[in-house]
Chain A
Amino acid sequence: MNGTRLQRYGGLLLLALALALGPLFLQNGFHYNVAILAGLNAIVCIGLNLLIGYAGQISLGHAGFYALGAYASAILPDRFGFHPLGAMITGAVAVGLIAFAVARPILRLKGHYLAMATLGMGIIVSIVLDQEVDITGGPDGMPVGDLSAFGYVVSGNLAWYTLVAILLFITVWLALNLVHSPVGRALKAVHGSEIAAAAMGVDVFHYKVLVFVVSAIIASVAGSIFAHYSGFITPDEGSFIHSIELVTMVVLGGMASITGSIVGAVLLTVLPQMLADFHDYEMIVFGAILMSMMILMPKGLVPTLAGLFKGRRS
């Protein structure tokens, strides 16, 4: 127990150090932009990994929650005079309620049926954002106001970086606490064998719903931050492709590995930027890398590398 606790706080310390030293390596606006986007993706992925990796439930619709958060932060302050923080919280609460309402029927489904149901839900969200032109600006997207709180307006690369870094740190801390709590142990049991867990008295369904709602709220908040940061959003934020990207980051980095989610998010955010030099061949290279990594490292990047490291030591 002490060992794992030490590891946990050691890991958090390392993360804090890495995040604090980050700006030393970021030389221009482009670097900052990639780092901030990678951080936001990492936040969503950690939440999603709680669902996929720990609770063993797939979701192909989380971009829908992300987009709802983003549009709440775009629409509420502009149309209804909400404070940006108020809008973000309202969005998160609404997404939490929606997730709770959908989770109850949806999470009774298993495997591919669950994948399809969450996929359908995400696509419906993106189609609504696309079609309700009067409210959302439709496919052209809409501008988003500044994020301000307590008389301070978040602007400039370093300020955004700091905000995202702090949020990422909090998310990791929360996720680690959840994983190492009775809830986390119950989730692991659910993933191992749902029936055995239920027989041991774990209220399987309750935990699945809880994690689904938590991961949706995390996605919504990240969406809100993204909206303020980029200053302009389109329904693409909620597209099926974006949902797939998020799941890919989780699986590529390693399921049930919080470090894996950060690595996966950073990798798949940086990779397309680097591949932009390939122009027309970008999709080909990206698809090939995705396939070969999943074939060579089915467990994901971080667990595979960790396994190699452990194997060599013993």
Chain B
Amino acid sequence: MLAEFLQFLFSGLTVGAIYGLIGLGFAVIYNASHVINFAQGEFVMIGGMATVFLMKAGVPMPLAILIAIAGAAAVGWVLARFGIETARGSTVVGLIIITIGASILLRGLAQVIWDRNFHALPAFAGDTPIQILGAALLPQSLIIGTALVLTMLGLRLFFEHTRIGKAMQATAIDPLAAQLVGIDTRRIVRLSFVLSAALGAMAGVLVAPITMTYANVGVMLGLKGFAATIVGGLGNPLGAIAGGLIVGIAEAMTAGYLTSAYKDAVAFIIILFVLLFMPNGLFGRAEVTKV
């Protein structure tokens, strides 16, 4: 009984942490540029797929992971520089469509450069589960949890104790005022894409041993990450993590106790309920409309 519950909780926390990391990427970009990046899931895909194929080419795993994350970050920079920056004067919907175009383009490239098959990555620390009160916990889950905590601490340090991190915060609060005090907001937008591409790729590498990776893996993962951000309140990084964990746990509990057929619907049902009662997400600030 308890073992069963713990088992569902572990798997929920594991995917939830992944959704949280992806959601974090949405939040970072949204804060810097007010763009919702629908290519976020493709960064996740690039992380997993690049690692798989680098390892097939004989690159040792840690190096392959680093190159994959750096590659995704480079793609993020290119998207910001040539997709978002050149599209000044676009409406919000226009920018969304540019990122959707980027998402289609990146999936197409992945199918041509790599392939259309499913690939598994070996678990980082073996497959022997740890037994806790009768429930099995995969070492990979522990690694994902650790990575999530370290990322949160790292981002906190970055945002509160580095010059460039503070500049990002300032841009999020008021882009115009940030420009007035000499912050190059275009650079901040590029940096936000690089940062969230790296976060997405990291999530992609971490989850690949559990769920496999393939050219279209980013579509659903991206949408769940978006759901996590919205549940937590758009633009709130901690909210995104909390939202990810809530969505992940709810999914695992639904699959375990009710029906696995509707597992993928859970995230979106939660979204509708949260938005019905709390239109700004669980931890979002209410928006004041100025005339």
A-B complex is real: yes
Q: Are B93 and A58 in contact (CB under 8 A)?
A: yes
Known A-B contacts A131-B261, A248-B97; A295 and B87 likewise in contact (beta carbons under 8 Å): yes
Digitize B255-274: 1 where CB-to-A-CB distance is under 8 Å, 0 elsewhere: 00000011011011101100
Q: Are B223 and A119 in contact (CB under 8 A)?
A: yes
Q: Are A113 and B280 in contact (CB under 8 A)?
A: yes
Query: Is the C-beta of B190 less than 8 angstroms from some C-beta in chain A?
Result: no
In this complex, the member of B108, B280, B291 whose beta carbon has the largest number of chain A beta carbons within 10 angstroms is B108
Q: Which residues of A lie under 8 Å from residue B87 when comparing CB positions?
A: 294-295, 298
Can you name the residue of chain A whose Cβ is closest to the Cβ of B264? A127
Q: Are A291 and B265 in contact (CB under 8 A)?
A: no
Please report the total number of A residues contacting B with Cβ < 8 Å: 48
Tell me the A255-291 residues at the B interface (CB within 8 Å). Answer: 255, 280-291
Tell me the A128-160 residues at the B interface (CB within 8 Å). Answer: 128, 131
The DSSP consensus for interface residues of chain B is helix
Query: Is the C-beta of B59 less than 8 angstroms from some C-beta in chain A?
Result: no
Query: Is the C-beta of A117 less than 8 angstroms from some C-beta in chain B?
Result: yes
Q: Which residues of A lie under 8 Å from residue B86 when comparing CB positions?
A: 295
Complexed CA–CA distance, A281 and B111 (Å): 9
Q: Are A290 and B101 in contact (CB under 8 A)?
A: yes
Q: Are A294 and B97 in contact (CB under 8 A)?
A: yes
Known A-B contacts A195-B289, A247-B93, A295-B87; A113 and B275 likewise in contact (beta carbons under 8 Å): yes
In this complex, the member of B30, B86, B93, B234 whose beta carbon has the largest number of chain A beta carbons within 10 angstroms is B93
Q: Are B269 and A124 in contact (CB under 8 A)?
A: yes
Query: Is the C-beta of A116 less than 8 angstroms from some C-beta in chain B?
Result: yes
Q: How far is the CB of B229 from chain A (nearest CB, A)?
A: 9
Q: How far is the CB of B253 from chain A (nearest CB, A)?
A: 17
Q: How far is the CB of B237 from chain A (nearest CB, A)?
A: 16
Can you name the residue of chain B whose Cβ is closest to the Cβ of A289? B101
Q: Which residues of A lie under 8 Å from residue B93 when comparing CB positions?
A: 52, 58, 247, 251, 255
Q: How far is the CB of B35 from chain A (nearest CB, A)?
A: 10
Tell me the A40-69 residues at the B interface (CB within 8 Å). Answer: 52, 58
Binding-face segment, A1-9, A102-110, A200-208, A222-230:
A102-110
Residues of B within 8 A of A (CB): 30, 36, 83, 86-87, 89-94, 96-98, 100-109, 111-112, 219, 223, 226-227, 230, 234, 261-262, 264-265, 267-269, 271-272, 275-276, 279-281, 287, 289, 291
Residues of A within 8 A of B (CB): 52, 58, 105-106, 108-113, 115-117, 119-121, 123-124, 127-128, 131, 193-196, 240-241, 244, 247-248, 251-252, 255, 280-291, 294-295, 298
